[in-house]
């Protein structure tokens, strides 16, 4: 039987009758959306006025909660009237001191279809399981009622739906990889990563699928992107498993290219100003090459460390401030150093800079020049920049 209304709650909250649609992107008060969403989520029962008052005004911070609730309910019904004349009264009933969603209305709700697909997957024969898993994953367009996600009752349900989706996605990826359906695997991984960007398992499957489909360049791009993301957000590097896959990408043999000019085009750097930024693993390789050269030629090599501290000089700034400062400092270092100089992000709040062919005095001058340039551009930033330099000694050079 055809539904009267289509309702989505996984991601954007919408109600549609096929012609008109209301969405939580519209400029309405948060309490209007909370009340409407709560009635739909609890559509199988009547909800007392007291329960709604406790939900909407938990601190009893309203003088006349029942009348205030009635005014709010009027606003909710007025919103629903955008779907048709008197839709609000038809969709929400009032009886014996309680409100409820009219269960005589035929509604297709994405959360119910999501749960049904997962149940079908659990009970399906092996050949049909994947189809149901993919159906559930595609229904998940975002966290449950995500715009209103700070509500405690929403947070709990949101966590449950997200866990179920990730479990379904993990199972689907395993099947797709085993079947060799790599294009579909790539699509599913990208879908999950867009919604849950910190789940490393799906980057691993994505890189494996890109390797299998001869897309090594894209696999490298994804690895660099996730490396930067994890470092920026958590101050950590990818797991050994993900790094091992990346190394496999680098070492993967390509179809031989006999035209040296084509090979050279792939090696040429895109035009850019300033010094060269790279990941720490690559920085180590360049460092070792510089150290070998210095051991042979006798030229000095210095390493500079720049650390961001809070204004008191001890604890780290908060995450938001840290990200803003580190981004700005990255640009300052890039512009201040010579084009042939190299730097990398060493930790959550540190940059490491290679200073070849310099003296101790010169290396310190370079670090101070970076500090002054940053202070000149961002004079009101509430952080301290601490700098230190150290030479690579002949013994260290010998053992590199």
3-state secondary structure of 392: coil
Cβ atoms within 10 Å of 272's Cβ, excluding its own: 10
- What is the token pair recorded at 156? 């709990």
pTM passes above 0.95 = no
1-175 matches 276-399 in fold: no
Q: What average pLDDT does the segment 252-262 reach?
A: 54
User: Which of 3-7, 39-43, 306-310, 390-394 shows the highest mean pLDDT?
Assistant: 39-43
Please name which of 228, 284, 220 lies closest in space to residue 249, comparing C-alpha atoms: 220
Phi, psi of 116 (to 5 degrees): -65, -40
Query: Any idea which residue has 């996730």 for tokens?
Result: 226
CA–CA distance, 356 with 341 (Å, rounded to integer)? 8
3-state secondary structure of 15: strand
CA–CA distance, 29 with 27 (Å, rounded to integer)? 7
CATH of domain 180-253: 1.25.40.10
pLDDT tens string 14-56: 999 989 999 998 888 899 999 999 999 999 999 999 999 999 9
pLDDT tens string 80-112: 999 988 899 999 999 999 999 998 889 999 999
Is a pLDDT exceeding 90 seen at residue 317? no
Query: Any idea which residue has 């990408």 for tokens?
Result: 249
Whether residue 245 contacts residue 202, with contact meaning beta carbons closer than 8 Å, is answered with no
- Beta bridge partners of residue 47, listed in sequence order: 99
CATH of domain 1-175: 1.10.10.10
Which strand (E) or helix (H) includes residue 161? helix 152-179
All structural domains of the chain with their residue ranges:
1-175, 180-253, 276-399
Query: Any idea which residue has 């989505």 for tokens?
Result: 8
β 107-109/5-8 pair status: parallel
CA–CA distance, 286 with 284 (Å, rounded to integer)? 6
CATH superfamily of 276-399: Reverse transcriptase/Diguanylate cyclase domain (3.30.70.270)
- Please state, in angstroms and as integers, the Cα–Cα distance from residue 234 to each residue in 175, 204, 278, 348, following that order: 31, 18, 18, 7
Is a pLDDT exceeding 80 seen at residue 311? no
Contacts of 320 (CB under 8 A, 6+ apart): none
């Amino acid at each position: 039987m055809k539904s009267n209304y289509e309702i989505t709650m996984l991601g954007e909250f919408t109600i549609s009758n096929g012609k008109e649609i209301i969405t939580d992107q519209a400029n309405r008060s948060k309490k209007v959306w909370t009340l409407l969403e709560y009635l739909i989520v609890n559509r199988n029962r009547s909800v007392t006025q007291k329960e709604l008052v406790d939900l909407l005004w938990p601190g009893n911070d309203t003088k006349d909660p029942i009348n205030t609730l009635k005014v709010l309910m009027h606003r909710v019904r007025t919103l629903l009237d955008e779907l048709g004349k008197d839709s609000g009264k038809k969709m929400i009933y009032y009886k014996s001191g309680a409100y409820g969603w009219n269960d005589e209305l035929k509604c297709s709700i994405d959360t119910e279809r999501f749960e049904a697909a997962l149940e079908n997957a659990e009970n399906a024969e092996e050949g049909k399981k994947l189809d149901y898993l993919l159906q559930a994953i595609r229904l998940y367009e975002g966290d449950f009622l995500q715009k209103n996600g700070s509500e405690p009752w929403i947070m709990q349900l949101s966590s449950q739906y997200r866990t179920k989706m990730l479990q379904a996605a993990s199972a689907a990826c395993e099947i797709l990889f085993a079947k060799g359906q790599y294009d579909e695997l790539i699509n599913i991984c990208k879908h999950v990563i867009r919604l849950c960007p910190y789940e490393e398992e799906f980057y691993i499957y994505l890189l494996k699928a890109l390797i299998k489909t001869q897309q090594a360049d894209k696999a490298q791009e994804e690895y660099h992107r996730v490396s930067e993301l994890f470092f920026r957000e958590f101050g950590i590097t990818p797991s050994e498993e993900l790094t091992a896959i990346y190394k496999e990408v680098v070492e993967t043999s390509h179809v031989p290219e006999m035209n040296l000019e084509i090979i050279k085009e792939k090696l040429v750097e895109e035009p850019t100003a300033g010094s060269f930024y790279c990941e720490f693993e690559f920085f180590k390789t360049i460092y070792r090459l510089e150290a070998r050269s210095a051991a042979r030629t006798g030229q000095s090599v210095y390493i500079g460390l720049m650390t961001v501290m809070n204004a008191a000089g001890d604890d780290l700034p908060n995450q938001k401030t840290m990200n803003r400062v580190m981004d700005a400092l990255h640009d300052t270092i890039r512009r201040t150093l010579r084009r042939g100089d190299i730097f990398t992000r060493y930790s959550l709040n540190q940059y490491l800079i290679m200073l070849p062919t310099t003296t101790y005095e010169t290396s310190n001058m370079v670090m101070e020049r970076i500090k002054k340039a940053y202070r000149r551009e961002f004079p009101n930033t509430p952080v301290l920049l601490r700098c230190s330099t150290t030479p690579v000694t002949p013994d260290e050079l010998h053992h590199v």
